Amino acid sequence: MRNIGINVRPDVLYGAPAFIEAAAAAHFDSVFTYGNLPDFIDFTAKKCAETGLQYEALHAPCERINDLWLPGDGGEQVVEMLKTSLSLASEHGIPIVICHLSSKENAPHVTDLGLARFDTVVEEAAKRGVKIAVENQRKLGNLCTILEIYGKDSPVGFCWDVGHEACFSYGREYLPLFPDRCVFTHVHDNNRLYNVDEHLLPFDGQIDFWRVADLLHNAKYPGTLALEIDLPHEGSDKYADLSLEQFVSKAWAAINRLRIIAE
């Protein structure tokens, strides 16, 4: 069966050490984190080693990602940000760095300048032995361009985000477009309202997870089903009424249900 994973954040309501221990006890296989946070990445790597979890992916920051395609210093800063993610991943044995290629509705088109910049990021990934997984947002064109330019023999793959597909893409299905390029997933639910990216547990919203299961099965995707959910934290009331054990148990049951029906 496919492995199952879950995201972790430093401000999770229950405390990151207890959360990671509970995830391991619940038989999750892996975790991933967001952002270039050296201390938290180091902590997570050590905690995974202690508990037997795999630290499978690092989500690169996506602030100002549109600058990658535009003239000016902002694009160079995006390149350095992505290279920092690759460096941190390499140092801690994390095999995948996830990155966005655009943000919001009015994202710029792919440009030669941006492609030249991304070339240097791909070269860095190859040098460090880390895979870059580009994630579906709203714009199909930039995703198609990158996955066509950098083929299966490159360090570039696809991260299928189930929730984004439902609230950003008017029903467009991405996995059938890139079935053999998918190297990671972000699994979460929402109520299918445009631009309302809720990051709920699967089966708590309106996404048809039987269809998700069919897509996974038909694509023969063998990799991890990784929850990317809005973990209970200060300032959010999602799942805040659940104890640590209740939350982790509910999360495991949801992603395991998808795993079973996708077989």
What end-to-end distance do the CA atoms of the chain give, in Å? 7
Does residue 171 register a pLDDT over 90?
no
pLDDT at 170 over 90: no
pLDDT tens across 45-84, in order? 999 999 999 999 999 999 999 999 999 999 999 999 999 9
Q: Structure tokens of 120? A: 């240097």
At residue 169's C-alpha, the angle toward residues 168 and 173, to 5°, is 130
pLDDT digits (tens, 9 = 90+) for 123-138: 999 999 999 999 999 9
CA distance 47 to 36: 17
**Residue spans per domain, the chain:** 4-262
- pLDDT for residue 36 is more than 90: yes
Q: Residue 237, exposed/middle/buried by CB under 10 A (0-12, 13-18, 19+)? A: exposed
How many residues appear in the chain?
Answer: 263
The side-by-side arrangement of strands in the sheet containing 182-186 is: 182-186, 156-161, 131-135, 96-99, 54-59, 30-34, 4-7, 225-227
pTM of the model: 0.97
CATH of 4-262, one of 3.30.43.10, 3.20.20.150, 3.40.640.10, 3.40.50.300: 3.20.20.150
